[in-house]
Amino acid sequence: MNVITAVSSKGGVTKTTLVSNLSALLADSGYRVLAIDADNTQPALSSHYPIVEQAPHGLIKLIKDRCLGPEVISKTSIDGLDIVVSDDRSDTLSEYILHEADGRYRIRQALTTIREEDRYDFVMIDTRGAKGAVLDAAMLATDIFLAPVSPDIMSAKEFYRGTVERYREIKESAKFLNILLGPLHVLFSRVDRTVDAKDVADSFRAMTEGQPDIRLLETQVPTSTVYKAAASAQMPVHLYEPTSNTKRASARDTMMSVLEELFAIHNEYDNLFQVPEISPRDGDAK
Ligand SMILES: Nc1ncnc2c1ncn2[C@@H]1O[C@H](COP(=O)(O)OP(=O)(O)OP(=O)(O)O)[C@@H](O)[C@H]1O
Ligand SMILES: [Mg+2]
């Protein structure tokens, strides 16, 4: 089981869009996927897809009782995609986590049970676009970090000061418990034709040269209205735009490319995370 978490200390960078679409694509490819909405105060992921079986509890019980039983796992309309919704709009969890000695490790501990029982192939966590204890707890449960960044140099610098610094602090603290966190994968997202994303990518690579824990993905997610339109229709974007009539890659191909690249990188790490291969056209198999 691999845990993929979208992180960014900045808001509005397409984290929820990526988590909802990548988790649905994995589920449609035949994997068993659990999404966790750890953006407790703005739980957009929780309502991204229709819920067909609503569990009585959600993120609060997951963290307080280290529980990942049926009482916290709801079923979405997408076959193979379950979700732990956030039920903590008033943000009681940040305080709670800070006051419990093992608070930041609670999500990780809860995931241990489903890992041992082999209930899911992937867990995808959406997080808040701001620093905080719930984000720390999600980071400490993560195998594969995905960090969407706007393709401009100011955003890249801000990302470096905010997200990268926090990630490294968390990674250092985890070492004392023999927890090795994987690298941070940066994905330029909402790339439009007016920016020279290649220049920004070059600057970013220069800025992070010699730092193997930060890797910029080759794949970029272009600006496209289909992401919002698919979200409004409560549909995964790979079904909303499976093919493209223009030169631009379809949203389905873009999402597939993100997953393939993430997995290819992870297979380089001596199968540390044992990521299964995903075949490009599995999506319609079900
Ligand atoms: N590739 C894209 N092109 C254009 N718009 C996009 C794209 N991806 C997402 N969006 C839109 O951008 C907005 C912000 O995306 P999203 O909510 O996923 O960001 P977020 O990082 O989760 O934000 P927050 O930090 O507030 O949780 C949404 O309206 C979404 O529909
Ligand atoms: Mg979000």
Nearest-atom number in ligand 1 for the CA of 222 is 1
The torsion angles phi and psi of 187, rounded to 5 degrees, stand at -125, 120
Between 11 and 247, the more confident residue is 11
Residue keyed to tokens 């409004």:
232
3-state secondary structure 36-99: EEECCCCCCHHHCCCEEECCCCCHHHHHHHCCCCCCCCEEECCCCEEEECCCCCCCCHHHHHHH
pTM over 0.85: yes
For the Cβ of 20 lying below 6 angstroms from any atom of ligand 1, the answer is: no
**CA 97 – ligand 2 centroid, Å:** 21
Cα–Cα distance measured from residue 205 to residue 202, given in angstroms and rounded to the nearest whole number: 5
What pLDDT does residue 278 have? 56
Cβ(39) to ligand 1 under 6 A?
Answer: yes
Helix (H) or strand (E) holding 172: helix 165-175
Angle formed by the axes of helices 15-28 and 251-268, to 10°? 80
Which whole-number Å values give the CA distances from 73 to 98, 122, 176, 221, 229, in the listed order?
25, 14, 31, 30, 27
Centre of ligand 1 from the C-alpha of residue 146, in Å:
14
CA of 127 to the centre of ligand 1 (A): 13
Buried b / exposed e across 243-276, counting CB within 10 Å, b at 16+? eeeeeebbbbbbbbbbbebbbebbeeeeeebebe
Task: Report the C-alpha gap between 201 and 181 in whole angstroms.
Answer: 24
Q: What are phi and psi of 215, to 5 degrees?
A: -130, 130
Tell me, using a 6 A CB cutoff, whether residue 224 lines ligand 1: yes
Q: 48 in ligand 1 pocket by Cβ < 6 Å?
A: no
Per-residue pLDDT tens digits for 234-250:
999 999 999 988 888 99
pLDDT of residue 286: 40
> Averaged over 74-96, what is the pLDDT?
97
Q: Which two tokens stand for residue 107?
A: 């999500």
pLDDT interval class at 217 (50, 70, 90) = very high
Number of H-type helices and E-type strands within the chain: 11, 9
pLDDT at residue 274 greater than cutoff 90: no
Distance of alpha carbon 13 from alpha carbon 30, whole angstroms: 28
Q: State the ligand closest to the CA atom of 148.
A: 1
Q: Is the CB of 16 under 6 A from ligand 1?
A: yes
Distance CA 54, CA 58 (A): 10
- The pLDDT assigned to 64 comes to 97
- Residue 192's pLDDT band, with cuts at 50, 70 and 90, is confident
Given the CA of residue 13, which atom of ligand 1 is nearest to it?
21
CA distance 2 to 22: 13
Closest CA to 38 of 70, 15, 21, 55: 15
Residue corresponding to tokens 């409560």: 234
Q: What is the pLDDT of residues 47-67, one digit of tens each?
A: 999 999 999 999 999 999 999
Q: Does residue 33 or residue 203 have the better pLDDT?
A: 33
Give the model confidence (pLDDT) of 158-188 as tens digits: 999 999 999 999 999 998 888 989 899 999 9
pLDDT tens digits, 23-41:
999 999 999 999 999 999 8
Closest atom, ligand 1, to C-alpha of 231: 31
Tell me how far apart the alpha carbons of residues 34 and 121 are, in angstroms, rounded to a whole number: 8
Average pLDDT, rounded, for the chain: 91
How far apart, in whole angstroms, are the C-alpha atoms of residue 29 and residue 23? 10
Q: φ, ψ for residue 140 (rounded to 5)?
A: -75, -10
Q: How far is the CA of 39 from the centre of ligand 2 (A)?
A: 7
Cα–Cα distance for residue pair 62/103, rounded to 1 Å = 11
Q: Please give the pLDDT value at position 115.
A: 93
Instruction: Report CA(9)–ligand 1 centroid distance (Å).
Output: 14
Tell me how far the alpha carbon of residue 128 lies from the centroid of ligand 1, in angstroms. Answer: 12
Span 103-149, pLDDT tens digits: 999 999 999 999 999 999 999 999 998 889 999 999 999 999 999 99
Give me the pLDDT at residue 269, please: 62
Give the pLDDT of residue 283: 47
How confident is residue 277, by pLDDT bands cut at 50, 70 and 90?
low
All structural domains of the chain, each given as residue ranges with its CATH number in brackets, are 2-284 (3.40.50.300)
Q: Ligand 1 within 6 A of 44 CB?
A: yes
High-pLDDT (> 90) share of the chain, %: 75
Q: Give the pLDDT band (50/70/90) at residue 279.
A: low
